[in-house]
Amino acid sequence: MIPASFDYHRPSDLEGVLALLKEHGDDARVIAGGHSLIPMMKLRMAEVPQLIDLQAIESLKGYSVNGSHVKIGAMVTQHELINSDELAAVAPILRETSLQIADPQVRYMGTVGGNVANGDPGNDMPGLMQCLDATLHLIGPNGTREVAAREYYEAAYVTAREEDEVLTAISFEAPKGGYAYEKQKRKIGDYATAAAAVTIQKDGGKVASASIAMTNLSDTPVWSEAAGNALVGTTCDAGAIKVAVAAMLDDIDPTEDNRGPVAFKKHVAGIILTRAITRAWERA
Amino acid sequence: MKDFTDEQKERAANLKGLGSSRKRVEDARFTQGKGNYVDDIKLPGMLHGDFVRSPYAHARIKSIDTSKAMALEGVVAVLTAADLAPLNLHWMPTLAGDKQMVLADGKVLFQGQEVAFVVAKDRFIAADAVELVEVDYEELPVIVNPFEALQSDVVLREDIADKKEGAHGPRKHHNHIFTWEVGEEAATNDVIENAEVVATETVYYHRTHPCPLETCGSVASMDKVNGKLTVWGTFQAPHVVRTVASLLSGIEEHNIRVISPDIGGGFGNKVGVYPGYVCSIVASIVTGVPVKWIEDRMENLMSTAFARDYWMTGKIAATKEGKITGLHCHVTADHGAFDACADPTKFPAGFMNICTGSYDIPTAYLAVDGVYTNKAPGGVAYRCSFRVTEAVYFIERMIEVLAIELNMDAAELRRINFIKKEQFPYQSALGWEYDSGDYHTAWDKALKAVDYEGLRKEQAERVEAFKRGETRSLMGVGLTFFTEIVGAGPVKNCDILGMGMFDSCEIRIHPTGSAIARLGTISQGQGHATTFAQILASEIGLPADSITIEEGDTDTAPYGLGTYGSRSTPVAGAATALAGRKIRAKAQMIAAYLLEVHDDDVEWDIDRFVVKGAPERFKTMKEIAYAAYNQAIPGVEPGLEAVSYYDPPNMTYPFGAYICVMDIDVDTGVQTIRKFYALDDCGTRINPMIIEGQIHGGLTEALAVALGQEIAYDDMGNVKTGTFMDFFLPTAWEVPNYITDHTVTPSPHHPIGAKGVGESPHVGGVPCFSNAVNDAFRAFGLRHTHMPHDHWRIWQTANKLGLHD
C-alpha cells in the first residue's frame, strides 16, 4: 500500500490544469476527493507520475439555483450537498442519495465531480445524474462542451471525457413530483449490491412521466427508458411496477462478485426498484 | 461489604479496588493519539523492510533475480532463502511442532507467502525495490479444499512427504498432519446406534481473520558493540519470543531484550512468530543498524494467522424426551500450508474437546484430522480460548438441530440437559473438570429478561402472517448457552514449546505508599493497567490510582506466557493477588512491631492493620510502607517487595446465556438485529465497566464473523477478501444496542474467584447470531445453513426453501 513516487501539482486555475495536462499527456491525472484514485495508486494499479490536485480551483466550487435550474461545481463535496437546505428544497433526491454514500468522513472529501466523472460503476451519483437527465460540463484544450449524463458512460472507467478534459460542473432541471434513491449495501462504506434512482410526476392520479436509473448492476450506470415508460399512464399499481421491473431487468447486466451471484443481484434489483418506485409514487 | 460501617465503605471505595468501575488509565494517551505503538518507534539510521510476496498459491520457484532491486539507489540488501540458509534461518519452528518457511525455499505454498525481504533506506524505496525483484515461477496444481487434499496425489509439503510420523502422531497421507482423538469411540458409537433419536449435521465454521486495528510489525536493533539485540514488536507473548529468538539465533537470552509497546489489538493474531520478525532481526544483525518491518492491511489479511476453517460433523443421540445420551464429533481441520496453530503443545486441536458444552453428556468422542492446503498458515484463537469458539458453535448448532429432530423448544432442550449446580466440579466425558457453574439460574434469568414466551408467540404469529402474504419479514430467536474454558493453564498439561503456562507478578511498594507491579502478560486493549491495579488495591490496601502496572519489557517484567485465551486474569491476575498477599504478610509483621503487639494480635481492615478489639489503634499500609524502608525492625529485612509465579490448578469455566432477536427480509436477505441480550458469568467481577466494554467488543466481532466476515479463496487459491471492501469489519452503524447482564459464580480455585471474560462474548455471540438466522427459517423446514450469513446467502436459503415463489 505504498504508491510509486509522483509529482504533485496544485494549480490555482483551470488554465493551469489544462497546461499541465497538455505538458504531461498520459502521465498526468487530475484528482478531486481521491477516494478512487488514491487507493488505486497505493495498490500500484494506477501509475500517475504527475498528479494534479483540483482542491485550489475556486471556479469548481459552489453551486447555483435559478428557479428549477441547478448547477453544481465539480468540487462540491457530498457533505456540502447534504448540508445545503437550498439544494434539498429544490432537489431533495440529492440529499437522499448523498446520505447513502459511505460515511461522513468520506463525504467530507468526496466530490460530486469525482463521483460522476470517474466512470466507476459502483458510484451512486452517475445513476442519479442519468435519472435527472443532467448535463456534464467539460473543458479541454479546444474549449468547453456539454455531454448528457445518459451519453457519458461507455464502460467501467471509460467515459466520453477525453484524457485532456476536465469535468467542471453538472447541471439539471430539478424534477417535480416524487423521488427516491433506494440502495442495498453490505455495510456502511460499501458500494451498492443494487440501487435505484426514481423520479415520478403525477397528473390526475396517474403517472405523467417517470425516470429510472440503476447503480452497480452493469459496467455502467443504467438509465432504463423502458422501465420509466412502463409506468406512464398507470396508477403505479403492483401490476405496473412489475412491468417496469421486468423492463429494467432486461436493461441491466450484473456480474457475480463477493456481494453475490447474478440471480441474487437481479432479484434484489427488482425489489429495490419496487421499493424506490413505491416511495417515489407516495411522494408524487 | 455488607457488614462494613459507612466509614469502612468509604475507605474501600477510595481504593477503587475489586468491583469498581474505575475509568481506564490507558485511555488518556490512547484517546489523545499519544500511544506508543511499534510503528511509532523511530531509531537513528533505521532501515525499512518490505516483502516480495507470491502471487501464486502453489508454484515452484525457478529463479530469483535481485540485481535490479539491488541497483536501485537506497537499497541495502535483498534477502532470499539462500541468504538465510547458512544461518539455518530459512525455516523456523512453528508453535504446533511443524516448521515453516521464513522465505520461500524452492516453492511457494500460499498466495502472499514471503519470497524475498528487501531492506532499504526508506519505506518508499523498499516498496519500489519489491517491484524490481524478478521471480520466475512455475505454477503447480492448487488445492484449497481439505477433503480434496486428502485424496490428491499432489504433494504440498515435499520437505516432509515421506514422513509417516508428525509432531502429533501418525500421518495417513502426504497432505495429512495429525489425527487427534479424545473420548470413547466404541462406547459412543454404541450409544448412537441404540439411541431413540439421533441428529446428524455437518457444520462448517468458515475461515476468518482476527484483523486487529494495528497490523503486525517489528523493529530489531542489534548493537554490535555490546552484543545486545533489542526487538520491539507486536507480540502477545514477549517472553516466549525472547526464548525462541535465543534458541534460533544462538544469542544468549540475557543479551536479547524483547519489548511489546502499546499494542493495537491482538485477538490471537499476534501470538505466533512471523517471517517479518525473523527477517527484521536477521537484517539488523547483518547490517548492524535497526531495521523496521510493518505489514500493511492486505498483507495482514492474506498472510498472518487466520482463524477457524473447521469442518465439523456431529451425531448427537438422545431419548425421545430429549435427554442427550451421546455425542460424536469429527473435524476436518484446514491448517493451510504449515501447521502454525497457536495451541498448547499437547493440544493440536486446542480445547476442541470442550465440545460437550454446558450439557451433561455421559458419553462422547472427538476426532480431529489436520490437513495441509494451499492457504495461509495459522489457526489461532480469534478472541477465544484455543478452538473453543469452534467447539461452542458446534454444540450450539447441534442442540438446535436436535431440537428440530425432537420437535422440541430449543430453550427447554437446553434446560433439561444442563449440568446441574450440584454436579460441580463436573467431570466431562472428554476430560475436563468444570470448576463451577449455575446454568439453570442464568438461563431462567435470561429467558425472563427477554420475555422468551412472548417472543415465540410473536414469531409464530409472524410466520402465519407471512404465509397469508401480509409480510415478507421473518423473525428469528437465536439462543446460546456457552461454557468457555480459559486460563491456560496448569503446567502439568499446558506448555508452549516446552514452556509451562504459568504466569507471574512482581510488586515493589515505594516508601511513600505507592507501588509498581510488573507482570508476564501484555495488554492489547484489555485494560490491564487499570484492572490489575484494582486487584492489588483490594489485596494491599493502597489506592489503585497509586499503583503503576507495567508489562511487555522482558528486561524488567517477570517471565510469563503472555496474553491470549482469556488467561491474563485467571493466571497473572491470580499471581497478582498472591504476590499482594505476600506483601500483606510482611506488612502484618511490621504493623505488629509498630503497634507493639504480637503478629497474631492485628487484623486486616481494608487499608490497614488494626489491633484486634481496639480498632482505634492501627497502622495504614502507607505508614507501614514508610516504616519498611526507614525503620530498623528486628528480624525483618528492609523493603517491601514480593514476587509470585502462579501455576493454576485448573482452568476456569466462564459461562453465559445469550439471546438474539433478528428480523430477516426474505426478499433481500438483509438481517436486522432488534435485540441482543447477553448474560455473562465470569465469576468475581473486577471492573464492571471494562467487562461491559469487553462484552460489546466481543459481540461486535461475533456479529462480524456470523454475518459476513471471511477469508475466502477462489479455486486458484487467490484471496477474494483481502481488503476492507470485502472483508467485513462492522462499524457502529451495523451494530445493535447490546443489553448486558450478569450472574456471579466465583471460581473455587482462583484466589479472587475471577474467571476471565474477554473472549466469552465472541464465543457465545457467534452461535447466537447464527442460531437466530437459522431459527427464522425453522418453520419452513431449514435444519442448518452455513455461516457467514451475509445477504446473498440468507437470500439463497430463502430461495431454496421456495419462499420467493
Domains of chain B (ranges, CATH numbers):
6-35+503-646 (3.30.365.10), 38-140+215-263+270-303 (3.90.1170.50), 399-487+651-800 (3.30.365.10)
Q: Look at residues A166, A161, A165 and name the one whose alpha carbon lies nearest to residue A147.
A: A161
Last residue of a domain, one of A154, A173, A192: A173
Q: Is residue A2 part of a domain?
A: no
For the stretch A233-282, pLDDT in tens is 999 999 999 999 999 999 999 999 999 999 999 999 999 999 999 999 99
Any CB–CB contact under 8 A between A256 and chain B? no
Clarify whether residues A109 and A33 are in a common domain: no
Nearest CA in chain B to A265: B792
- Cell 515421506 belongs to residue: B162
One-letter amino acid at B590 equals I
Nearest CA in chain B to A194: B668
Any CB–CB contact under 8 A between A1 and chain B? yes
Chain A interface, mutation test: which of B664, B668, B720, most A Cβ atoms within 10 Å?
B668
Last residue of a domain, one of A173, A200, A216: A173
Residue range A28-57: mean pLDDT, rounded? 95
Question: In this complex, do B792 and A271 lie within 8 Å of one another by their Cβ atoms?
Answer: no
Last residue of a domain, one of A173, A197, A225: A173
Question: In this complex, do B728 and A258 lie within 8 Å of one another by their Cβ atoms?
Answer: no
Comparing CB atoms, the residue among B708, B734, B792 nearest residue A188 is B734
Nearest CA in chain B to A4: B128
For the stretch A6-41, pLDDT in tens is 999 999 999 999 999 999 999 999 999 999 999 999
What is the rounded distance in angstroms from the CA atom of residue B734 to the CA atom of residue A41?
29
Dump the DSSP string for chain A.
Answer: --PPP-EEE--SSHHHHHHHHHHHGGGEEEESS-TTHHHHHHTTSS--SEEEE-TT-GGGS-EEEETTEEEEETT-BHHHHHH-HHHHHH-HHHHHHHTTSS-HHHHHH-BHHHHHHS--TT-SHHHHHHHTT-EEEEEETTEEEEEEHHHHEEETTEESS-TT-EEEEEEEEPPPSEEEEEEEESSTTPPEEEEEEEEEEEETTEEEEEEEEEESSSSS-EE-HHHHHHHTTS---HHHHHHHHHHHHHH-----BTTB-HHHHHHHHHHHHHHHHHHHHHH-
B603 φ, ψ (degrees, to nearest 5): -135, 155
What is the rounded distance in angstroms from the CA atom of residue A19 to the CA atom of residue A30?
12
Residue B383 falls in the annotated catalytic set: yes
Question: In this complex, do B708 and A184 lie within 8 Å of one another by their Cβ atoms?
Answer: no
Dump the DSSP string for B1-32.
Answer: -TT--HHHHHHHHHHT-TT--PPPTTHHHHTT
Beta bridge partners of B614: B611
Residue B236 falls in the annotated catalytic set: yes
Q: Which residues in chain B have Cβ-Cβ distances shorter than 8 Å to A263?
A: 799
Task: Please state, for a pLDDT cut of 70, what percent of chain A lies above it.
Answer: 100
Output the pLDDT for position B566. Answer: 85
Q: Is residue A275 part of a domain?
A: yes
Q: Is residue A188 part of a domain?
A: yes
Total CB pairs under 8 A between chain A and B: 68
Q: Is residue A157 part of a domain?
A: yes
Output the pLDDT for position B357. Answer: 98
Catalytic residue among B113, B236, B459, B671: B236
Clarify whether residues A103 and A158 are in a common domain: yes
Catalytic residue among B383, B387, B414, B608: B383
Which residue numbers in chain B have pLDDT < 50? 1
**Cell output for B273:** 512468530
Question: In this complex, do B296 and A1 lie within 8 Å of one another by their Cβ atoms?
Answer: yes
Max Cα–Cα distance, chain A, nearest Å: 62
Q: Burial level of B696, CB count in 10 A (0-12/13-18/19+)?
A: middle
Clarify whether residues A183 and A167 are in a common domain: no
Residue B550 falls in the annotated catalytic set: no
- Cell 544483525 belongs to residue: B285
One-letter amino acid at B19 equals G
Q: How close does chain B come to A103, measured CA to CA in Å?
A: 10
Q: Is residue A228 part of a domain?
A: yes
Any CB–CB contact under 8 A between A66 and chain B? no
CATH of the domain at A185: 3.30.390.50
CATH of the domain at A105: 3.30.465.10
Residue B759 falls in the annotated catalytic set: yes
- Helix H or strand E encompassing B165: strand B165-166
For the stretch B114-153, pLDDT in tens is 999 999 999 999 999 999 999 999 999 999 999 999 999 9
Clarify whether residues A185 and A168 are in a common domain: no
Dump the DSSP string for B368-409.
Answer: EEEEE-SS--EEE-TTSSTTHHHHHHHHHHHHHHHHHHHT--
What is the rounded distance in angstroms from the CA atom of residue B207 to the CA atom of residue B335?
10
B89 φ, ψ (degrees, to nearest 5): -115, 15
**What's the half-sphere exposure (Cβ side, CA atoms, 13 Å) at A196?**
32
Clarify whether residues A150 and A67 are in a common domain: yes
Q: Which residues in chain A have Cβ-Cβ distances shorter than 8 Å to B123?
A: 2
Q: Which residues in chain B have Cβ-Cβ distances shorter than 8 Å to A266?
A: none
Q: Which residues in chain B have Cβ-Cβ distances shorter than 8 Å to A187?
A: 708, 728, 730-731, 733-734
What is the rounded distance in angstroms from the CA atom of residue B245 to the CA atom of residue B233?
13
Question: In this complex, do B731 and A187 lie within 8 Å of one another by their Cβ atoms?
Answer: yes
CATH of the domain at A15: 3.30.43.10
Q: Is residue A78 part of a domain?
A: yes
Beta bridge partners of A195: A183, A215
Q: Is residue A1 part of a domain?
A: no
Output the pLDDT for position B248. Answer: 87
For the beta carbon of residue B585, count every other beta carbon within 10 angstroms.
11
Chain A, 33 to 52: residues with Cβ < 8 Å from chain B are: 44
**Cell output for A26:** 498520459
Beta bridge partners of B479: B659
Q: Look at residues B282, B309, B295 and name the one whose alpha carbon lies nearest to residue B376.
A: B309
Domain that holds residue A16: 7-53
Nearest CA in chain A to B726: A258
**Cell output for B207:** 475461515
Clarify whether residues A157 and A75 are in a common domain: yes
Clarify whether residues A111 and A71 are in a common domain: yes
Clarify whether residues A39 and A65 are in a common domain: no
Question: In this complex, do A259 and B791 lie within 8 Å of one another by their Cβ atoms?
Answer: yes
Clarify whether residues A26 and A108 are in a common domain: no
**How many domains are contained in chain A?**
3
Clarify whether residues A249 and A151 are in a common domain: no
Q: Look at residues B563, B536, B573 and name the one whose alpha carbon lies nearest to residue B755.
A: B573
Where is pLDDT greater, at A151 or B495? A151
Output the pLDDT for position B2. Answer: 58
Clarify whether residues A193 and A120 are in a common domain: no
What is the rounded distance in angstroms from the CA atom of residue B150 to the CA atom of residue B370?
10
Clarify whether residues A186 and A274 are in a common domain: yes
